[in-house]
Amino acid sequence: MSLFLFTLMKGSLKMTDQQKQQPKYFAQDVDKVLAAVDSKRTGLTGEQVNANLAKYGPNALAEGKRKTKLQRFLDQFKDFMIIVLLVAALISGLVAREWADALIILAVVLINAFMGVIQESKAEEAIDALKEMATPEARVRRNNAILSISSDQLVPGDIVLLEAGDVVPADLRLLDAASLKIEEAALTGESVPTEKDVATIAKDDVPLGDRNNMAFMNSNVTYGRGVGVVVGTGMHTQVGQIAGMLNSAKETTTPLQDNLNSLGKTLTVLILIIAAIMFVIGFMRGDASWIDMLLVSISLAVAAIPEGLPAIVTIILALGTQKMAKRNALVRKLPAVETLGSTDIIASDKTGTLTMNQMTVEKVYTNGQMQDAAADIAPADTTLRVMTMSNDTQVQEDGNLLGDPTETALVQYGFDHNFNVTDEVEKEPRVAELPFDSDRKLMSTVHQLKDGRLFVAVKGAPDQLLKRVTQVAAKGQVQAMTPAAEQAILDVNTSLAQNALRVLAMAYKYIDKLPDQLDTETLEQDLIFSGLVGMIDPERPEAKAAVEKAKAAGIRPIMITGDHQVTAEAIAGRLGIIEPGDDDAVITGAQLDAMDDKTFDEKVDQYSVYARVSPEHKVRIVKAWQDKDKVVAMTGDGVNDAPALKSADIGVGMGITGTEVSKGASDMVLADDNFATIVVAVEEGRKVFANIQKSIQYLLSANLGEVLTLFMMTLMGWDILKPVQLLWINLVTDTFPAIALGVEPTEPGIMDRKPRGRSSNFFSGGVASSVLYQGILEGALTLGVYLWGINFPVHSTYDAIHADALTMAYATLGLIQLFHAFNVKSIHQSLFTIHPFANKSFNWAILGSFVLLGATIAVPGFNGLFHVTYLDLSQWSAVLVAGIAILVIVEIVKFVQRRMGKQ
How much of the chain is helix, strand and coil, in % rounded to 5?
50, 15, 30
Q: Is 838 exposed, middle or buried (0-12, 13-18, 19+ CB in 10 A)?
A: exposed
Q: Please give the sequence-ordered ranges of beta strands (E in DSSP) within 412-549, or none if there are none.
A: 430-437, 442-448, 454-460, 469-474, 477-480, 502-511, 527-536
The CA distance from 635 to 65, in Å, is 26
Rounded Cα gap, residues 79 and 744, in angstroms? 29
d(CA 338, CA 310): 15
Q: Which of 171, 349, 404, 537 is catalytic?
A: 349
Q: Strand pairing of 8-9 and 442-448?
A: unpaired
Q: What are phi and psi of 873, to 5 degrees?
A: -65, -40
Least Cα distance to 88 among 286, 254, 272 occurs for 272
Amino acid letter, residue 683: E
Return all residues near 237 (Cβ < 8 A) that are at least 6 apart.
170, 171, 216, 217
Q: How far apart are CA 226 and CA 233, in angstroms?
A: 18
User: How many angstroms separate the Cα of 344 from the Cα of each of 329, 560, 598, 665, 800?
Assistant: 19, 16, 21, 21, 60
Task: Give, rounded to a whole angstrom, the gap between the first and last alpha carbons of the chain.
Answer: 36
Dihedral class, residue 622 (left if φ above 0, else alpha if ψ from -120 to 50, else beta)? alpha
Distance CA 814, CA 460 (A): 80
- For 283-293, letters b (16+ CB in 10 Å) and e give eeeeebeeeeb
Has 349 been annotated as catalytic? yes
- Please, is 244 exposed, middle or buried when counting C-beta atoms within 10 Å of its C-beta (0-12, 13-18, 19+)? buried
Which residue pairs, CB below 8 angstroms and at least 24 apart, start in 746-752?
746/683, 746/686, 746/687, 747/687, 747/690, 747/826, 747/829, 747/834, 750/683, 750/686, 750/687, 750/690, 751/549, 751/552, 751/553, 751/682, 751/683, 751/686, 752/552, 752/553
Phi (first) and psi of residue 609, to 5 degrees: -135, 125
Q: State whether residue 461 is helix, strand or coil.
A: coil
* CA dist., res. 507 & res. 680, Å (int): 48
Amino acid type, 23: P
Instruction: Return the closest-CA partner of residue 592 out of 565, 606, 610.
Output: 610
Q: Which of 444, 571, 579, 589 is nearest to 520 (CA)?
A: 444
What is the three-class DSSP state of 355?
A: strand
HSE at residue 624, side-chain half, CA atoms within 13 A, is 22
Give the dihedral sign, CA 575/576/579/584.
negative
- Residue 3: C-alpha distances to residues 120, 259, 694 (Å): 12, 12, 18
Distance CA 764, CA 652 (A): 27
Cα separation, 897 vs 901, in Å, equals 6
Query: 3-class DSSP state for residue 501?
Result: coil
Q: Is residue 453 within 8 Å of 510, Cβ to Cβ?
A: yes
d(CA 669, CA 659): 11
Catalytic residue set? 349
